């Protein structure tokens, strides 16, 4: 099993625990950095660095759960693993509600820690991939002229070129040129490809891989297409990677 790129950040005031986790990380070929306190980690925290965080609950100063709360407030993408020699159900529930990947009770098995770290690094890679696609879509949308933004809305709504031409008051040739420009700027070759780009779902051409074998993309949001009613419009709804749920008629309002 290949391990995604990233660093395992360990926060534990027990030096022996840090050495043990660092040794495990070395066996997995995962870079590891250790910190004796949550404050020391926060002083060097860089949200742009991929990885995951393994934190002991009982620390001198800021506790593990308090660190998790602070990182959550900062919008940190780092997956969080909480460990404790005194884990309780209420502690585990609180940690999971605040976004922890898992809670491990000391002493934990090496296999359990190994699985938790691999899972956390994979989650971090997925989150960063989604964020990258989100930024790319927003940058592409920002490059559109006001007229092209309106054309994009109509393309997503399923309007044919002749309707777009009529609504813009331009020739069919000009409407076709505007549509082609929108698709080119958005990096797709069809209106359906545009919908897939905006909603973060895989395009039909990409369904020859794992998704085509019935395994969904774990980073893709739920997505549905409503067939148009007689004389109606193609409608789409999805949880978009570029902001709030995406609905026909509101493309221009999407923002970070």
Q: What is the pLDDT of residues 17-65, one digit of tens each?
A: 999 999 989 988 999 999 999 999 999 999 999 999 999 998 989 999 9
Q: Is the separation of the CB atoms in 238 and 247 below 8 Å? A: no
Domain residue extents for the chain:
7-132, 143-201+218-253
Q: Is the separation of the CB atoms in 187 and 137 below 8 Å? A: no
The mean predicted confidence, pLDDT, of the chain is: 79
According to the model, what pLDDT value does residue 226 have? 38
Mutual orientation of helices 110-142 and 15-27 as an angle, nearest 10°?
A: 70
What percentage of residues in the chain have a pLDDT greater than 90?
A: 51
What percentage of residues in the chain have a pLDDT greater than 70?
A: 76
According to the model, what pLDDT value does residue 63 have? 92
- Fold agreement (7-132, 143-201+218-253): no
Of residues 219 and 97, the one with the higher pLDDT is: 97
**Domain 143-201+218-253 fold:** Arc Repressor Mutant, subunit A (1.10.10)
Label residue 86 by pLDDT band (50, 70, 90): confident
pLDDT over 90 (residue 124): yes
3-state secondary structure the chain: CCCCCCEEEEECCCHHHHHHHHHHHHHCCCCEEEECCHHHHHHHCCCCCCEEEEEECCCCCCCHHHHHHHHHHCCCCCCEEEEECCCCHHHHHHHHHCCCCEEEECCCCHHHHHHHHHHHHHHHHHHHHHHHHHHHHHHHHHCCCHHHHHHHHHHHCCCCHHHHHHHHCCCHHHHHHHHHHHHHHHCCCCHHHHHHHHHCCCCHHHCCCCHHHCCCCCCCCCEEEECCCCCCCCEEEECCCCCCCEECCCHHHCCC
According to the model, what pLDDT value does residue 97 have? 82
Looking at domain 7-132, which CATH architecture does it have?
3-Layer(aba) Sandwich (3.40)
Tokens for 155? Answer: 């393309």
According to the model, what pLDDT value does residue 210 have? 38
Q: Is the separation of the CB atoms in 200 and 241 below 8 Å? A: yes
Q: What is the pLDDT of residues 213-245, one digit of tens each?
A: 334 444 343 333 333 344 433 333 333 333 333
Cα(69)–Cα(240) distance, rounded to whole angstroms?
26
The model's pTM: 0.67
pLDDT over 90 (residue 205): no
* C-alpha atoms less than 13 angstroms from C-alpha of 50 in its C-beta half-sphere: 19
According to the model, what pLDDT value does residue 67 have? 93
pLDDT over 50 (residue 248): no
């Amino acid at each position: 099993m290949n391990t995604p790129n990233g660093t395992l950040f360990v926060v534990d005031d027990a030096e022996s625990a840090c050495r043990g986790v660092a040794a495990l990380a070395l066996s997995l070929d995962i870079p590891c950095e250790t910190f004796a306190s949550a404050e020391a980690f926060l002083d060097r925290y860089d949200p742009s660095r991929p990885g995951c965080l393994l934190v002991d609950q009982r620390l001198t100063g800021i506790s593990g759960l308090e660190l998790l709360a602070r990182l959550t407030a900062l919008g940190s993408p780092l997956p969080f693993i909480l460990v404790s020699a005194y884990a309780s159900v209420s502690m585990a529930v609180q940690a999971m509600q605040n976004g922890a990947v898992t809670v491990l009770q000391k002493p934990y098995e090496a296999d359990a820690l190994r699985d938790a770290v691999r899972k956390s690094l994979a989650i971090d890679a997925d989150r960063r991939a989604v964020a990258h696609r989100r930024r790319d879509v927003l940058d592409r949308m920002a490059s559109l002229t006001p007229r092209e933004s309106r054309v994009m809305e109509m393309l997503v709504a399923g309007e044919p070129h002749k309707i777009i031409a009529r609504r813009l008051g331009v020739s069919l040739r000009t409407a076709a040129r505007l549509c082609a420009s929108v698709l080119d700027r958005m990096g797709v070759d069809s209106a359906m490809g545009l919908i897939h780009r905006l909603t973060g779902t895989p395009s039909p051409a990409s369904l020859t891989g794992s998704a085509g074998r019935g395994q969904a993309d774990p980073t893709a949001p739920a997505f549905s297409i409503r067939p148009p009613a007689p004389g109606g419009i193609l409608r789409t709804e999805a949880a978009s990677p570029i902001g709030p749920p995406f609905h026909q008629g509101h493309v221009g309002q999407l923002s970070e």
